[in-house]
Amino acid sequence: LSLSDMDSKALLMATEKEGILPDFVRKFPRIPFLKRVNVMPSNALIRFMMAEEEITAVADVENISPTGFQVSTEDPRANCLLPAESLKIYFMPRGETYNIVNINGIIRRVTRSFDPVSGVGRISFGMSVGNITDDQRASFTHLLRKIVEQLKI
């Protein structure tokens, strides 16, 4: 996915102001989920295969960028997913957006955490954007543009 020079600069400026930078520098920094950005998706559905069965699970969107994103779920069935596997992501609309954006994501990193109070585990997936149709690419680009516009406010 590529952005115009103007959108790239706006994204970098907004991320410098609101985002966090990892130990290594990505082509596009990830924008962490911010509740005040009312178009930023907070939830997604993830679909993957486990044995011969297609699984659908609910995930929280932790961050997003033109080239990747991170989601996490408490669904224990997601423990079977490993780096280099792909899955379908459906970003749920929020605020003034009305379209579900779906992308094939490629898992790049998996982390697991455990809440000792609730006893619930959480699996996080750092993912890159995989195959995406032209119309979904346009929807994803539009969504990112709206997020960046709201970060400027």
Asked if residue 37 has pLDDT above 70, the reply is yes
Task: Provide the mean pLDDT of the chain.
Answer: 87
Taking the C-alpha atoms of 8, 96, 48 and 30 in order, what is their torsion angle to the nearest 10 degrees?
30
Note the Cα 135 to chain centre separation in Å. Answer: 18
Per-residue pLDDT tens for 114-137?
Answer: 989 999 999 999 999 999 999 999
Per-residue confidence band for 20, with pLDDT thresholds at 50, 70 and 90: low
Q: Which residues on adjacent β-strands are paired with residue 109? A: 126
pLDDT recorded at residue 93: 84
pLDDT band at 19; cut points 50, 70, 90: low
